[in-house]
Structure 1
Amino acid sequence: MQAHIGDQLVVPCPAALGGSVLVGLDGTGNSVPAVRWGAEEAAVRGLPLHLLHSWVSQPWPASCVPAEAERRGYGAEALGRAEAMVRDRHPGIAVTAEQVDEEAADALAERSGTATVLVLGSRGHERVSGFLLGSVSLRVLGRAECPVVTVREEESSVGPGPEVVVGVQETGAEGDAVLDYAFTTASAHRADLRAVRARAPRTDAAHALDTSEGAADEGELLSASVAPWREKFPDVEVIEQLVDGRAVPVLLAACSRAGLLVIGRRVRRAPMPLGPSVLAVLHHSRCPVAVVPRIA
């Protein structure tokens, strides 16, 4: 697939992008935290960083779209600034930049198949701490084959901080990809991991006596889900948390100290690629969110 950096034609080698941290940037301010986050992730994990910009998907108002040459020039400048920032902060990591002449969502979704993680920027709310996701981000989130981290425009941190929160609603093989990513990230950044499971509250009298027994069963499911990963990552301090309530508010409430919230999404979901719970978490989360495709 052909790509352009300024006037230079580049034909990227897919094998060269394998295992990279992929960052999609549109050249606006909301790209800067995503680039910083992606660079830190690449540095901590010892991975290459690949910056991608689509000149055909630039966010110009419909009334004043520049000519193609100007848009290519704008893209080249945006990539140049991002690459310079990365090299200044992390001179030791391998960085590549690519400008494509295809839709950003298509290019990012395709390259996600060989990436370790994809990082996207998001405009933050003015008064509500959360995300405003554009159509590109939503389309990529629904199609990406690797975990996707969304980072707010006003985000100042460059990593998951002292604690990673992971939602543990699926047990067994269905939840493995989510836990794998959460534990790997916590270990790489030397962060604690809070494994949170929401339990539907018992409200009817017929089940009132079963509350403690049900809580024990749910607690055992949570512990059993986390146990193999505790063994695989003995360096990670794990806090198991079982909370009565619906999954979305439980997860959001658990993120008071977190620098990253990790959730899963079903693949091949129709007609909506992202379920309402995923969308609600993305919209209201106070910290960056990693959405991991569940392959089981």
Structure 2
Amino acid sequence: MNRRIVVGLDGSAESVAAAHWGAREALLRGAPLHLVHAEMWSSPHVGPSAGSEERRRAARTFLREASDELLGTHPRLAVSAESFDGQPAASLARATAGASMLVLGSRGLGTFRGFVLGSVGMSVIHAVEQPVVLVRASEDALPHTQGRHRDRDVVVGVDTARPCDALLSFAFDEASRRGCTLRALHSWTLPPLAGYGGAYGPETNARIAAIERTGLDDMLRPWQDMYPAVDLDAQATLGRASVQLLEAGSGAGLMVVGRHIRRSSLGRHIGPIAHAVLHHSTAPVAVIAHE
């Protein structure tokens, strides 16, 4: 049985867009969709109040309305809903246990710019090891709900110096299900040269570029063999990885970035590249946890 896709729903336009994105993804995977709402309705020291019961009823209402809307658009979709009294991040993390993916809405930085990743989103990304997809309430996210995403690329950023199996597995699977091109991007920067006016010559630049391209091809070859039907566009480019990824992902259907799993409780860093892509991408972004 396919594992369910969980969507965090809070009644905002962003979370509704996330629900529609998750619904289409669930249909692509043949998986059920589970809508989750969580908030602190009562205090463990004071207990429930009249206001908390009103919020419970409001949550049940918009969960039911969201389910009805999704079923009206996708009648073949299996939808369930659940609400929790508790910290949203912790509740979402518990609900995601055993799921294949968590989808969240995220407010944009202005009309056409990327995401505002709030404390709940950041906490959930660090609390779960399943893929977390951030979706905006914008035209960039909506085509995925309307079946028009198939001609839009999936873009994945890889580092040939580190294991990327989790990212590539997710990215190739997504491109295969969508029937779209997968664009795999590896970027590198040159170390600075000592001395005034130092610069690498054309032959050195070409040799380094050839080495980087060979490393990328070697990394991708086993995955291309597993997914021969996927149209793969591999690019090895000189420059900052975050800048190159954002340029490559302009107009993409989905961006895929990685974050290293941190076993230490100190800090909540997702890495500079993932951070930059999350905050500036106009496309939905999947964050994939890996060692």
Which of the five TM-score ranges fits, normalised by the shorter chain?
A: 0.7 to 0.9
Question: What amino acid sits opposite 1:156 in the alignment?
Answer: L
1:86/1:42 Cα in 2 relative to 1: closer, same or farther (>3 Å)? same
Which stretches in structure 2 are left out of the alignment for 5+ residues? Answer: 42-48
Distance across 1 between alignment mates of 2:11 and 2:111:
24
State the Cα distance separating 1:117 from its structure 2 match.
1.1
2:77 aligned with 1:93? yes
Shift of 1:256: 2.2
User: Does structure 1 conserve the Cα–Cα contact (< 8 Å) formed by 2:21 and 2:142?
Assistant: no
- Scaled by the length of structure 1, the TM-score of the pair is 0.86
The residue that corresponds to 1:124 in the other structure is 108
**Inter-CA distance 34–194: structure 2 relative to 1 (3 Å threshold):** same
Are residues 1:189 and 2:178 paired? Answer: yes
Secondary structure at the counterpart of residue 13 of structure 2: coil
Please give the secondary structure, in 2, of the residue aligned with 1:271.
coil
Distance change (3 Å), C-alpha of 1:66 and 1:199? farther
Q: Which of 118, 130, 148 is matched with 1:134 structurally?
A: 118
Q: 1:201: how far off?
A: 3.6
Which of 85, 88, 102 lines up with 2:86 in the alignment?
102
Shift, 1:26, TM fit? 0.8
Q: Give the secondary structure class of the aligned counterpart of 1:272.
A: coil
The alpha carbon displacement at 1:171 in A equals 4.8
Partner of 1:62: none
| Counterpart secondary structure, 2:22 | helix
1:267 to 261, 266, 281: 261
CA contact (8 A) 2:40 2:85 kept: yes
Q: Which amino acid aligns with 1:98?
A: E
CA positional deviation for 1:207: 4.3
Percent identity at matched positions? 39
Q: Which runs of 5+ in 1 are unaligned?
A: 1-15, 58-64
Q: What is the aligned partner in structure 2 of residue 166 from structure 1?
A: 156
- Residue number in structure 2 paired with 1:7: none
1: CA distance, partners of 2:103 / 2:64: 18
1:28 Cα shift?
1.5
- Partner of residue 252 from structure 1, selected from 246, 254, 261: 246
| Distance in 1 separating the partners of 2:100 and 2:50 | 34
1:225 Cα deviation from its structure 2 partner: 1.1
Q: Is 1:83 aligned with 2:67?
A: yes
- What's the offset of the Cα at 1:113? 3.1
The farther-off stretch of 115-124 and 263-272 is 263-272
Counterpart CA distance in 2 for 1:111 and 1:213 is 50
Q: Which residue of 2 aligns with 1:47?
A: 31
1:139 positional shift: 0.8
Out of 207-216 and 283-292, give the one that drifted further. Answer: 207-216
Shift of 1:81: 1.4
Distance 2:126 2:53 in 1: 31
Give the length in aligned residue pairs. Answer: 272
Contact 2:38 2:92 in 1 (8 A): no
Quote the Cα distance in structure 2 between the aligned partners of 1:178 and 1:231.
16
- Please give the TM-score of this superposition, normalised by the length of structure 2: 0.87
Q: Does 1:289 find its partner at 2:273?
A: no
Following the alignment from structure 1 to structure 2, what is the Cα–Cα distance between the partners of residues 186 and 88? 27
**Alignment partners' CA distance in 1, 2:68 and 2:186:** 42
What letter is aligned with 1:168? Answer: V
For 2:82, the aligned partner's letter is E
The answer to whether the Cα contact below 8 Å between 1:219 and 1:242 also exists between their aligned partners in 2 is yes
Partner AA of 1:177 in structure 2: A
Instruction: Work out the CA distance in 2 between the residues paired with 1:257 and 1:222.
Output: 23
**CA deviations over 1:180-238 (Å, ceiling 9, x no partner):** 00010111111110000011146534743421111111101111111111111111100
Cα 1:206–1:245, aligned 2, differ >3 Å: closer, same or farther?
closer
Task: Write the letter of the residue equivalent to 1:243.
Answer: T
The Cα RMSD (Å) is 2.1
C-alpha distance in structure 2 between counterparts of 1:80 and 1:20, whole Å: 18
In structure 2, distance between residues paired with 1:110 and 1:265: 20
Measure how far apart 1:105 and its partner are.
0.7
